[in-house]
Amino acid sequence: MRLKDLYISALGAAYLFYAISSAASWLLSWLDARWPLIIPGAAPDIGLSIGFATIGGLLLQQWMGGDEGFKAAAVLVGSFLAVALMTLQLLVAGASALNAYILSAIGEEWGPSASMELCRADVVLGAFTAPVIRLALRRVREVVGVAARA
Amino acid sequence: MSRSKQAVKLKIALAGNSNVGKSVIFNEITGGRAFVANWPGVTVEKKVGRIRFRDVNVEVVDLPGIYSLTPYTLDEMIARRFIIEEKPDAIINIVNAVNLDRNLYLTILLLEMKARLVIALNMMDLAEAEGIKIDVDGLSRELGVPIIPTIAVKGVGTRKVLEEAVKIAKSKQKVNFKVDYGGDVEKALRELTSIIEREADLRDYEPRWLAIKLLEGDENIVSNLKSLGRRALLEKAERMRAELERKLNMNLEDYMIEKRYELVFKLVSKYVIHPRKKATFTDLLDSVLTSRIYGIPILATIVYMMFQFAFKVAEPFMTFIDWLFGTLLYEAVYSTSLPLIVKSFLADGFLVGVGSILVFVPNIALLFLALAVLEDIGYMARAAYVVDKIMHKLKLTGKSIVPMAVGFGCNVPAIMATRPIEDEADRKVTALVAPLMSCMARLPVYLVVGGAFFAAQLGVVVMSMYVLGVLLAFVMAWILRKVFFKAPSSGFIMELPPYLAPTLKGIVVKTWERTKRFLLKAGTVILFAMFLVWVMSVTGPSGWIGVEALSRPELLEESWVGVLGRGLQSVFWPMGWDWRALSALLLGFVAKEIVVGSMAILYGAAEEELPRLLSQVFTPVQAYAYMAFVLIYVPCLATLAAIRSELGTRYMLLALFYELALAYVVALLITGFGALWGGAG
């Protein structure tokens, strides 16, 4: 197994870990708000948990069989979703900062700072996954090229 | 001005299969300047653009996306009727270069109608990437029409298409294209054609095309000719058809379709070279995006991202609009020296109303933006495919996903978006359950009522409303199928377009058009409704109460709104909602957008103070039940009007009553379970 495959697998495992953490955190926040599950970067959000689980599964597809084309496309889609989630969270952080600025300008109370929005698993893992898009694209092109020559 | 110097006016239509880039070409040609109306007599959207091209005024009409010109689907009927009745000077037929064998069938049908065509051979870049080689000149010669290769998303070739269309439209040249249907059929066609040519009242129709339709037994043509008293001609055509079917030993319509496809395959094999079949980039992506394991989770992730984008990124814009209308302008009006009644009308009626609409425009625009991107990339077609298996089990079709997804924005276009569903029962069921999709107008209620109790989990609580709507839609679809529409659901036919990079212009135009439609609706019905709320709040059975009623609940209770709200309390006692919450529901009949605005007036508070006030009059369970009731109960007036015009009064009443009953039952269950769980207090 090559180093880059290990890197992708490690990311996949991290996404699955945060999928479980986010789901557990969300469930606990519902059951008893006094005992939140504190895992750095895990937001108590079931929608995010589904997203993490999907990305994790796609990045770990190389361990789960299927033809080369499917595996390559799975990694491409997974990494693309990871970067989309990261971009979304960056936009949310930006919007949060702008909202705080407007609220303070009009003399209203405003919530936690935007920097809190950046310390999340979707941002950090997304940044680590961004380079995978290039690798995955190259692999998909290789598969398409091989099929064309066959 | 002399006659010779008067500008020529031409009408050019755009026709093509779905997902071939028709909208992109329409926007390129018209520069995105289009107005939207309905096709006569139906609520299918008609997009028209007016441009000046050199010395010519051109009206560009976007026909619905179609695969054929049969009388079996409304979109195809609309296109056909337009060509027959409005006789466009030219038609731009957009075909997908990657899938010519599928697309050329419509081209053949249009040519049979003797339409003056220009073919825009679109997605040439994708065809080249797949190694497809097309002899454009040869195909153009054989069909007798100009063919312009285009890459619409990059604007390549679109101007040339318009140039050619204007040229042939001005030339008024005759179209000589013919499909050879073989000896006996051709003989019958000649005989019928010569009869039709002699009849003055059939001159609207192209004679050979009418003869073909008569031999096919086209229901719509037969009925039209019956109404013209052409029984002899119909009987003759019927005799000929029976004779030909006996000779051919097959249905004549099927035979003629076969002949057209034979021609299409002949043309494709002669002028198109396909490389050996290989896995393409699109194939590989589809293997994952539509896979059994990942298809649904990927769709769920994308929907989640779409809603996070629409709700959270919109926040600062909403804060600003809220402050502008709720504070700055509101206080500015009250600081003037106008009479109190005028100030109250302007501030409490007009500004509160306008503010409560505009504050959600950022949400709506961002949601439409996300939908436009997904549509233009080509993902929405995959989403339909992915859910088709499930939809089929729930007695719907994969195509129902489009109206249902549009319903998250607004239920009115959702009802209209059921048009492309060919199967009548599928279409009716989809239209009846589409209002259960939580439209953007319900969002303010979730945010305000939900925000009062579930601020920390607001995203999840709001999402639960969306999920509840979807689940109830499936349950109702199943029930409606079992009770009213027992015919089996039809199969799923949808071409998966290649993945394309969306264009900024296309997305902006689409987003703006949809947002504008919401704003126009808001600007008319809702503003009127808000005025009505204000009047009903300051008057009552005893007459004029005064604008003080808006800030003094004991006076407001004496108003019409209070009287009606109190009347409803006897029906809704198990839920424990107070008369003001019930009055807001009553007013929400007009439009769901006004529920929050009405609550603000009824509780005598600015919108930002509402959550705090509501936390004193609701319990969490009552609040959640109220949100569910708002989700489910009667669609707004505009949606009801859309259902009536699409399905008739009977189905409108069905939608009205089943949703009211369902809303009551669900709210009651939530209240009951909440009490059992100990959350009512």
Residue B4 has pLDDT above 50, yes or no: no
pLDDT tens-place string over residues B547-605: 887 777 678 788 888 888 889 888 999 998 988 889 888 878 767 877 887 787 777 77
Q: What is the mean pLDDT of residues A114-122?
A: 74
A–B interface: beta-carbon pairs under 8 A: 112
Q: What is the pLDDT of residue B1?
A: 41
The number of residues making up chain A comes to: 150
Stretch (H or E) spanning B540: strand B539-540
- Mark yes or no for CB contact B316/A102 under 8 Å: yes
Percent of chain B with pLDDT over 90: 10
pLDDT at B44 over 60: no
Largest Cα–Cα separation, chain B: 91
* pLDDT tier at B2, thresholds 50, 70, 90: very low
**Amino acid at the residue B558:** E
What residues in B contact A73, CB-CB < 8 Å?
284-285, 287-288
Q: Is B246 exposed, middle or buried (0-12, 13-18, 19+ CB in 10 A)?
A: exposed
A28 and chain B in contact, CB less than 8 A? no
Residue in chain A nearest B307 by alpha carbon: A47
Reported residue count of chain B is 681
Number of neighbours of residue B40 by Cβ within 10 angstroms = 11
The 3-class SS string of B508-520 reads HHHHHHHHHHHHH
Q: How far apart are the first and last CA of chain A?
A: 25
User: Per-residue confidence at A116, pLDDT binned at 50, 70, 90?
Assistant: low
Start-to-end CA span in chain B (Å)? 80
Whether residue A81 lies within 8 A of chain B, CB to CB, comes out as yes
> CB contact, 8 Å: A48 with chain B?
yes
Average pLDDT, integer, range B189-206: 80
Question: For testing the chain A interface, which of B301, B608, B612 should be mutated: the one with the most A CBs within 10 Å?
Answer: B301
- Are the C-beta atoms of B480 and B432 separated by less than 8 Å? yes
pLDDT of residue A74 exceeding 90, the answer is: yes
| Mean pLDDT along residues B610-627 | 88
Rounded to 5°, the CA angle B356-B436-B321 comes to 15
Chain A residue numbers with beta carbons less than 8 Å from the beta carbon of B287 are 69-70, 73
Q: Three-class SS of residue B163?
A: helix
Say yes or no to pLDDT of B129 above 70.
Answer: yes
Pick from B113, B27, B49, B35: nearest CA to B76: B113
Whether the CB of A16 is below 8 Å from some CB of chain B: the reply is: no
Contact B314 A96 (CB under 8 A): no
Contact state of A96 with B312 under an 8 Å Cβ cutoff:
yes
Is A87 in CB contact (< 8 Å) with chain B?
no
Task: Check CB contact under 8 Å for A30 and B320.
Answer: no
Note whether B305 contacts A76, CB cutoff 8 Å: no
Interface contact A58, partner B, CB < 8 A: yes
B contact test, residue of A34, A90, A102 with most B CBs within 10 A: A102
**What order of strands is seen across the sheet that includes strand B90-96?**
B34-38, B45-53, B56-62, B8-16, B90-96, B117-122, B147-149
Kindly list the distances between the CA atom of residue B197 and the CA atoms of B188, B204, B206, B209, B421, in Å, as whole numbers in the listed order. Answer: 14, 11, 9, 11, 37
Q: Is 0.90 exceeded by the ipTM?
A: yes
CA dihedral over B253, B255, B258, B264, signed as positive or negative: negative
Q: Is A95 on the interface with B (CB under 8 A)?
A: yes
Distance in angstroms (rounded) separating the CA atoms of residues B139 and B108: 12
Give the closest residue to B110 by CA, choosing from B72, B149, B67.
B67
Say yes or no to pLDDT of A41 above 70: yes
- Summarised one tens digit per residue, pLDDT across range A123-143 is 999 999 999 999 888 888 888
CB distance A123 to A83 below 8 Å: no
Mean local confidence (pLDDT), B5-13: 73
Of A92, A138, A144, which to mutate for an interface test with B (greatest number of B Cβ within 10 Å)?
A144
CA distance B321 to chain A (A): 11
Q: Do A58 and B289 touch (CB under 8 A)?
A: no
Q: Which two tokens stand for residue B291?
A: 């896979």
A106 to chain B: closest CA residue: B323
**CB-based contact (8 Å) between A82 and chain B?**
no
